[in-house]
Amino acid sequence: MKNLWNKVEKSKSTYIALISVILVFIMPILFNLFHLGRTNRIIWLFFIINILFAGFIGWFTRKYHLSFFNLVIFPVIFVVSVFVKYGRYGYFLSGIYLVLSILIYFLFDNEN
Protein backbone atom coordinates (compact mmCIF):
# COMPACT_ATOMS: atom_id res chain seq x y z
CA MET A 1 0.00 0.00 0.00
CA LYS A 2 2.82 2.38 0.86
CA ASN A 3 4.51 1.67 -2.47
CA LEU A 4 1.27 2.43 -4.31
CA TRP A 5 0.88 5.73 -2.43
CA ASN A 6 4.45 6.73 -3.38
CA LYS A 7 3.66 6.18 -7.07
CA VAL A 8 0.46 8.22 -6.80
CA GLU A 9 2.30 10.93 -4.88
CA LYS A 10 4.92 11.26 -7.63
CA SER A 11 2.38 11.34 -10.46
CA LYS A 12 1.79 14.84 -11.77
CA SER A 13 -1.29 13.62 -13.64
CA THR A 14 -2.84 12.72 -10.30
CA TYR A 15 -2.28 16.27 -9.09
CA ILE A 16 -4.01 17.63 -12.19
CA ALA A 17 -6.96 15.30 -11.58
CA LEU A 18 -7.22 16.19 -7.88
CA ILE A 19 -7.13 19.93 -8.49
CA SER A 20 -9.69 19.46 -11.26
CA VAL A 21 -12.04 17.63 -8.91
CA ILE A 22 -11.63 20.36 -6.30
CA LEU A 23 -12.37 23.11 -8.82
CA VAL A 24 -15.28 21.33 -10.43
CA PHE A 25 -17.07 19.81 -7.43
CA ILE A 26 -15.83 21.49 -4.23
CA MET A 27 -15.56 25.13 -5.32
CA PRO A 28 -19.25 25.44 -6.38
CA ILE A 29 -20.23 24.07 -2.97
CA LEU A 30 -18.06 26.70 -1.31
CA PHE A 31 -19.65 29.40 -3.46
CA ASN A 32 -23.05 28.25 -2.21
CA LEU A 33 -21.90 28.13 1.41
CA PHE A 34 -20.79 31.75 1.21
CA HIS A 35 -24.10 32.66 -0.44
CA LEU A 36 -22.51 33.78 -3.67
CA GLY A 37 -25.11 33.67 -6.38
CA ARG A 38 -25.27 31.89 -9.68
CA THR A 39 -23.93 34.90 -11.56
CA ASN A 40 -20.87 35.11 -9.33
CA ARG A 41 -20.27 31.39 -9.73
CA ILE A 42 -20.46 31.62 -13.48
CA ILE A 43 -18.25 34.70 -13.75
CA TRP A 44 -15.62 33.95 -11.12
CA LEU A 45 -15.48 30.19 -11.14
CA PHE A 46 -16.33 29.20 -14.68
CA PHE A 47 -14.78 32.10 -16.54
CA ILE A 48 -11.91 33.40 -14.42
CA ILE A 49 -10.63 30.62 -12.15
CA ASN A 50 -11.26 27.70 -14.52
CA ILE A 51 -9.81 29.53 -17.52
CA LEU A 52 -6.67 30.34 -15.54
CA PHE A 53 -6.46 26.71 -14.46
CA ALA A 54 -6.90 25.51 -18.05
CA GLY A 55 -3.98 27.71 -19.07
CA PHE A 56 -1.97 26.42 -16.13
CA ILE A 57 -2.60 22.83 -17.22
CA GLY A 58 -1.23 23.59 -20.69
CA TRP A 59 1.88 25.19 -19.23
CA PHE A 60 2.33 22.48 -16.57
CA THR A 61 1.96 19.68 -19.10
CA ARG A 62 4.57 21.22 -21.39
CA LYS A 63 6.98 22.11 -18.59
CA TYR A 64 7.08 18.61 -17.12
CA HIS A 65 6.86 16.85 -20.50
CA LEU A 66 3.66 15.06 -19.56
CA SER A 67 1.46 13.23 -22.01
CA PHE A 68 -0.70 15.36 -24.27
CA PHE A 69 -3.73 13.54 -22.86
CA ASN A 70 -3.29 15.32 -19.53
CA LEU A 71 -4.89 18.33 -21.23
CA VAL A 72 -8.15 16.40 -21.44
CA ILE A 73 -8.47 15.55 -17.72
CA PHE A 74 -9.96 18.86 -16.58
CA PRO A 75 -12.46 19.32 -19.45
CA VAL A 76 -13.72 15.74 -19.08
CA ILE A 77 -14.26 16.12 -15.33
CA PHE A 78 -16.01 19.42 -16.03
CA VAL A 79 -18.32 17.78 -18.60
CA VAL A 80 -19.26 15.14 -16.04
CA SER A 81 -20.20 17.81 -13.52
CA VAL A 82 -22.14 19.76 -16.14
CA PHE A 83 -24.03 16.65 -17.14
CA VAL A 84 -24.98 16.04 -13.52
CA LYS A 85 -25.66 19.54 -12.25
CA TYR A 86 -25.37 22.57 -14.52
CA GLY A 87 -26.85 23.98 -17.71
CA ARG A 88 -25.94 23.31 -21.29
CA TYR A 89 -23.56 26.28 -21.47
CA GLY A 90 -21.07 24.13 -19.59
CA TYR A 91 -20.44 21.95 -22.61
CA PHE A 92 -19.17 24.98 -24.51
CA LEU A 93 -17.01 26.00 -21.57
CA SER A 94 -15.32 22.62 -21.49
CA GLY A 95 -14.44 23.08 -25.15
CA ILE A 96 -13.01 26.49 -24.37
CA TYR A 97 -10.94 25.02 -21.54
CA LEU A 98 -9.58 22.31 -23.82
CA VAL A 99 -8.71 24.72 -26.64
CA LEU A 100 -7.03 27.12 -24.23
CA SER A 101 -4.97 24.31 -22.69
CA ILE A 102 -3.86 23.18 -26.14
CA LEU A 103 -2.96 26.74 -27.19
CA ILE A 104 -0.89 27.32 -24.05
CA TYR A 105 0.70 23.90 -24.50
CA PHE A 106 1.92 24.83 -27.98
CA LEU A 107 2.78 28.40 -26.98
CA PHE A 108 5.51 27.07 -24.71
CA ASP A 109 6.66 24.58 -27.35
CA ASN A 110 10.10 26.13 -27.86
CA GLU A 111 10.88 26.62 -24.17
CA ASN A 112 13.67 24.47 -22.71
Residue 6 pLDDT grade (very low, low, confident, very high; cuts 50, 70, 90):
low
pTM, rounded to two decimals? 0.84
Residue 99 pLDDT grade (very low, low, confident, very high; cuts 50, 70, 90):
very high
pLDDT at 104: 94
Q: Are 98 and 53 in contact (CB under 8 A)?
A: no
At 20-51, the pLDDT tens digits run: 999 999 998 888 898 888 888 888 988 999 99
Phi, psi (5° rounding) for residue 108? -95, 25
Residue 110 pLDDT grade (very low, low, confident, very high; cuts 50, 70, 90):
low
Instruction: Name the residue among 62, 50, 51 with its Cα closest to residue 12.
Output: 62
Domain locations in the chain as residue ranges? 12-107
